[in-house]
């Protein structure tokens, strides 16, 4: 715990017990008693605990070595984004005097100090895992990540030639002197700080060489001694593959960049800047231009972190800190090579034996039966009953993607309306919407161009949609549109029928292969009416819209969930079955956490499966001893949001786009849909039960923090949820044959 925290876990437990005793003495039910101070974990430090779980995946020696390499890359990329957004935002609020004490009770300065200390501990551990464990094991299987000095003479000679032909022409050395001010250092760029000496005058000068981001992060010297860009390495190569960091190749040729000068010293460094986008738009018409302007400004945000290679000289470091405006607290001293996000190149090697066994998604139940008879009759399949999709076990391409593609070409389809938060530039879904518009259908796309770090790409394909005749709307002023919705209006013999998809994940064919998400295909009349009303609200004016099977933020998700939690308390008091089971990416919202605390105090069992941030303190006597919190990480990114309630023996289950965070519940348009089919309800409840079960491999949140539980008492690995679901999907395929 942080020094200076007003309430430790032990103190909190004592306060909770005392509060409960006081309530009992006054004949007040425990759940109605005042909740203790310090009952929320800090959001930022909880995020770092999540990234530690990612790092523990990299440390797991039972995982294939290239997958461990991949988790090292993810850890580094996650931390980059955390500093660009969360730390940068905290610093900005502190600088403007707008920072306030967090719900955890920590002051802004305490949070920042805790982040710095914890992040430095984790990055040092990350570097050790790479250097002491993963790197040697990669070498054991013929994948060598080497420093320049470890190359033999023949390999160095070949790289000399490769440098002259492929690297040297791209480099631009920038001197710093009275005529040349300190250059702008772009965020996340890798750089060489070079000190050179004029042999005539003896005067020393500083220069900066940027490692070009368009060149490969690592240069490959294959078994034949030939240098390659990583993407050009022969895919059938089975011999030794040696990688050399690009910056080391440049560093050993600095004399070519500074002819006639002596190279005194050189060091690698990397800067992280504030890259969170802030756009205040007064209307949708100006939003595109405002965002484009903001993206230009973002590149020049203040520095929030400086990574330097160990051994950097004090005077060079002082110069960098002074020119970049970085305090010592934000300097990270790390062993070379810096920027291990580049390890994703290693993971992409064509070495299947060193990765997770291949899994091929299957066609979802309810669609597979139709597929065997008529591969194009999606509408008939949906008319026969709601279809629950569970990606990536159920194929995205043979379900959602094909549904939208068929709607685009079906002459009976009159209109398609869809939300788009993130997708790929070459997305077949974008192409289908364009085809539909060009075929004369009414097509509406609610495009969220403020999706963080996808803004530029989203602007590009939003313009492409507009040019094809799609009605592109940028949502409601002041709110991000994060809901995952598609509505297809079709003319049929008995009139117009509306086919709907509501999901938990983005309409992104590439990430759908690696993200775990849930979706529902339905032509239920109530859902069709709900989506029609919601799309009208998003594209026009309908502030008083009411819904049948939807909860929609920012108006009804928080109160709707709190109401249902409170209802479980009443069921429990009446002796009826009562429980709460949530699966989310993050849970921070204090109102919902407090409702869960009250349910726990009343004796209602609560299970929360959370991938990332969690502000709940679990297992505190008198407060949360009935709350179990689990976290699951694996080959797929757990992304689905599911909310289930015992409801007195008639379980109620919702799925949708919303996490339990302030931004989702207050500043975004989010949608949850209630599942109606009893079999689908049973499946989702079972999914949550297995996810939280003690014999399932997961991380458990306890009084003193997160603990991994992946081995049983005999040292055998516990059940892996994702492996169980993959096996289930394979059995379904086998049963059809």
- Which of helix, strand or coil describes residue 642? strand
Three-state SS for 469-509 is CCEEECCCCCCEECCEEEEEEEEECCEEEEEEEEECCCCCC
Three-state SS for 119-153 is HHHHHHHHHHHHHHHHHHHHHHCCEEECCHHHCCH
- Give dist(CA 430, CA 424) in Å, integer: 9
Beta strands per DSSP E along 350-507: 387-391, 413-420, 442-447, 471-473, 480-481, 484-492, 495-503
Question: Residues 34, 39, 41, CA angle at the centre, nearest 5°?
Answer: 160
Sign of the dihedral defined by the CA atoms of residues 396, 399, 404, 406, in that order = positive
- Give dist(CA 712, CA 491) in Å, integer: 57
For 629, residues 6+ apart whose C-beta sits below 8 A from its C-beta are: 608, 609, 610, 614, 616, 618, 700, 701
For residue 49, give both structure tokens.
Answer: 């605990």
- Give dist(CA 300, CA 324) in Å, integer: 11
- Give dist(CA 58, CA 72) in Å, integer: 6
Q: Specify whether the CB–CB gap between 530 and 556 falls below 8 A.
A: no
- Give dist(CA 120, CA 331) in Å, integer: 9
The candidate with the shortest Cα–Cα distance to 726, out of 734, 718, 717, is 734
Token look-up 């495009």 returns 447
How many other C-beta atoms lie within 10 A of the C-beta of residue 735? 7
Q: Specify whether the CB–CB gap between 305 and 339 falls below 8 A.
A: no
Q: Specify whether the CB–CB gap between 276 and 84 falls below 8 A.
A: yes
Alpha carbon distance, N-terminus to C-terminus of the chain = 56
650 to 558, 607, 676: CA distances (angstroms) = 22, 18, 11
Active site residues: 482
For residue 647, give both structure tokens.
Answer: 């409801």
Question: Residues 537, 539, 540, CA angle at the centre, nearest 5°?
Answer: 65
> Does 337 sit behind a cis peptide bond, omega within 30 degrees of 0 on the bond before it?
yes
Pairing of strands 241-245, 218-222: antiparallel
Largest CA distance in the chain: 93
């Amino acid at each position: 715990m942080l020094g200076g925290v007003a309430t430790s876990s032990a103190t909190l437990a004592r306060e909770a017990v005392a509060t409960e005793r006081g309530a009992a003495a006054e004949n007040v039910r425990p759940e109605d008693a005042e909740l203790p101070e310090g009952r929320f974990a800090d959001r930022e430090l909880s995020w770092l605990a999540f990234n530690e779980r990612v790092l523990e995946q990299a440390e797991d020696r039972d995982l294939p070595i290239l997958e461990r390499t991949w988790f090292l890359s993810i850890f580094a990329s996650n931390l980059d984004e955390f500093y660009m957004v969360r730390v940068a935002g905290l610093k900005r609020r502190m600088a403007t005097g707008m920072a306030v004490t967090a719900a955890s009770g920590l002051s802004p300065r305490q949070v920042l100090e805790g982040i710095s200390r914890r992040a430095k501990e984790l990055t040092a551990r990350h570097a050790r895992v790479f250097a002491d464990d993963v790197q040697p094991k990669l070498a054991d299987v013929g994948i060598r990540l080497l420093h320049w000095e470890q190359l033999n003479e023949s390999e160095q000679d070949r790289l000399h030639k490769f440098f002259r032909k492929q690297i040297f022409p791209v480099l631009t050395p920038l001197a710093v002197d009275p005529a040349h001010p300190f250059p702008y250092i772009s965020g996340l760029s890798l750089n060489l700080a070079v000190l050179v000496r004029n042999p005539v005058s003896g005067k020393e000068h500083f220069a900066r060489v940027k490692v070009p981001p368009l060149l490969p992060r690592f240069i490959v010297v294959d078994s034949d001694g030939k240098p390659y860009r990583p993407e050009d390495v022969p895919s059938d190569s089975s011999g030794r593959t040696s990688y050399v960091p690009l910056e080391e190749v440049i560093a050993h040729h600095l004399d070519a960049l500074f002819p006639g000068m002596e190279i005194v010293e050189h060091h690698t460094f990397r800067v992280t800047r504030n890259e969170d986008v802030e756009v205040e738009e007064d209307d949708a018409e100006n939003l595109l231009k405002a965002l484009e302007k903001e993206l230009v400004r973002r590149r020049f945000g203040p520095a929030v972190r400086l990574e330097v290679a160990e051994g950097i000289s004090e005077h060079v470091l002082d110069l960098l800190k002074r020119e970049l405006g970085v305090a010592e607290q934000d300097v990270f001293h790390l062993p070379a090579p810096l920027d291990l996000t580049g390890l994703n190149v290693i993971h992409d090697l064509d070495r299947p034996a060193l990765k997770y066994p291949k899994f091929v998604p299957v066609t979802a139940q309810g669609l597979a039966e139709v597929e065997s008879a008529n591969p194009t009759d999606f509408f008939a399949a949906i008319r026969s009953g709601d279809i629950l999709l569970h990606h990536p076990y159920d194929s995205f391409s043979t379900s959602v993607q094909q549904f939208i593609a068929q709607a685009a070409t079906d002459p009976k389809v009159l209109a398609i309306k869809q939300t788009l938060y993130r997708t790929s530039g070459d997305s077949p879904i974008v192409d289908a919407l364009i085809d539909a518009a060009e075929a004369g259908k009414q097509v509406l796309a609610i495009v969220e161009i403020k999706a963080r770090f996808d803004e530029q790409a989203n602007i590009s394909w939003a313009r492409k949609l507009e040019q094809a005749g799609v009605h592109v709307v940028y949502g409601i002023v002041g709110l991000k549109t994060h809901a995952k919705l598609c509505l297809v209006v079709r003319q049929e013999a008995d009139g117009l029928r509306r086919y709907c998809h509501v999901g938990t994940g983005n309409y992104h064919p590439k990430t759908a292969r690696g993200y775990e998400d849930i979706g529902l295909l339905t032509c239920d009349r109530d859902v069709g009416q709900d989506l029609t009303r919601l799309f009208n609200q998003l594209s026009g004016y309908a502030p008083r819209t009411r819904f049948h099977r939807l909860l929609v933020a920012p108006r009804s998700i928080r109160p709707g969930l709190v109401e249902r939690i409170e209802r479980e308390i009443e069921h429990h008091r009446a002796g009826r079955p009562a429980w709460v089971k949530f699966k989310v990416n993050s849970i921070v919202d204090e109102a919902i956490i407090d409702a869960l605390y009250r349910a726990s105090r009343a004796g209602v069992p609560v299970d929360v499966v959370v991938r990332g941030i969690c502000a709940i303190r679990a297992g505190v006597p008198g407060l949360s001893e009935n709350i179990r919190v689990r976290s699951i990480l694996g080959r797929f990114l757990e992304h689905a949001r599911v909310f289930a309630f015992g409801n007195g023996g008639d379980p109620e289950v919702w799925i949708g786009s919303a996490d339990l965070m302030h931004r989702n519940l207050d500043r975004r348009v989010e949608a949850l849909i209630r599942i109606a089919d009893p079999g689908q309800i049973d499946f989702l409840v079972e999914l949550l039960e297995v996810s939280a079960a003690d014999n399932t491999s997961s991380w458990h949140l306890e009084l003193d923090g997160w603990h991994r539980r992946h081995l049983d008492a005999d040292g055998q690995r516990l059940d892996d949820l994702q492996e169980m679901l993959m096996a289930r999907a394979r059995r379904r395929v086998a049963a059809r044959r």
